Amino acid sequence: MSSNLVALILGAGPRVGASVAQSLASKGYQIAVVTRNGTGAKTSEGYLSLQADFAEPDSIPALFEKVKAEFKAPPSVVVYNAASLTPPPDEQSVLSIPAERVTIDLNINTVSAHVAAQEAVKAWETLPGDVKKTFIYTGNLLNKSILPMPLFLNLGVGKSASAYLIGTADALYADKGYRFFYAGERKEDGSAASSALDGPAHGTFYASLANHEGNIPWDATFVKGKGYVKFE
């Protein structure tokens, strides 16, 4: 297998993003992390820090170019970990959210993920066949469960759309060996992890997905300490 493995993490927050970066780095990946405050330099961990606004999908392709220029190889693993929601200005009316905010949130939750997946596929076509190619989208249960709470409207719309994107891509690129995962942590009873979301559990699980371990489907629900668990 190639010794020049690269992972690109889009949305490197202090819990999931940081833990996934640490876990993949421990597996030998060179890491690029993207945030709104990226510096263009190396972090104390040795990661390449890049800046982007995920509300602007056109900013995504340049990130792949910068990663390839820095590491002399494109990313074989791409993690999309950005999310956005907008509370309705009228708490009693879910449809009071302005259209421009719906567009911004959809760009962050779905459109930029779509562009990132497009760029990943382009990059993977240039990589050796023995390198595992993996796209992981950080999801939750909103693709399956409608929560009648105005706050979650834009987030749920984005997660649902992205789940369809990921599931379709995983099926149609299977013959190339490319894997696409909608990964979401759950509690043991299948409910949302919510405030109990565990960064290190994501890191461990995402590293196993990156290596295509086990026969895990695109809808990769997992429980801390157990790994993949199928929920209806």
For residue 182, list its beta bridge partners: 137, 219
Residue 118 located in a structural domain: yes
Residue 1 lies in a domain: no
Pick the closest to residue 23 from 36, 44, 11, 7 (CA basis).
7
Q: Does the residue 135 lie in any domain?
A: yes
Strands 219-223 and 77-80: unpaired
User: Is residue 175 very low, low, confident or very high in pLDDT (cuts 50, 70, 90)?
Assistant: very high
Q: Which domain holds residue 197?
A: 6-228
Q: pLDDT averaged over the chain? A: 96
Coil, strand or helix: which one is 82? coil
Say if 12 falls within a structural domain.
yes
Interhelix angle 60-71/112-124, nearest 10 degrees: 40
Tell me, yes or no, whether 140 lies in a domain.
Answer: yes
* Residue 1 banded pLDDT, cuts 50, 70, 90: very low
Determine which helix (DSSP H) or strand (DSSP E) holds 48, and give its type and residue range: strand 48-51
Question: How many domains would you assign to the chain?
Answer: 1
pLDDT of residue 122 exceeding 90: yes
**Tens digits of residue pLDDT in 73-121:** 999 999 999 999 999 999 889 999 999 999 999 999 999 999 999 999 9
* 2 pLDDT above the threshold of 80: no
Q: Over 90: is that where the pLDDT of 170 sits? A: yes
- Is the predicted pLDDT of residue 31 greater than 60, yes or no? yes
Which CATH number covers residue 17?
3.40.50.720
Q: What pLDDT is stored for residue 3 in this prediction?
A: 59
pLDDT at 16 over 70: yes
Q: Concatenated DSSP letters for 131-162?
A: S-EEEEEE--GGGT-----GGGHHHHHHHHHH
Which residue bears the tokens 């290190």?
200
Task: Return the minimum-mean-pLDDT range out of 2-6, 22-26, 53-57.
Answer: 2-6
The predicted pLDDT at position 13 comes to 86
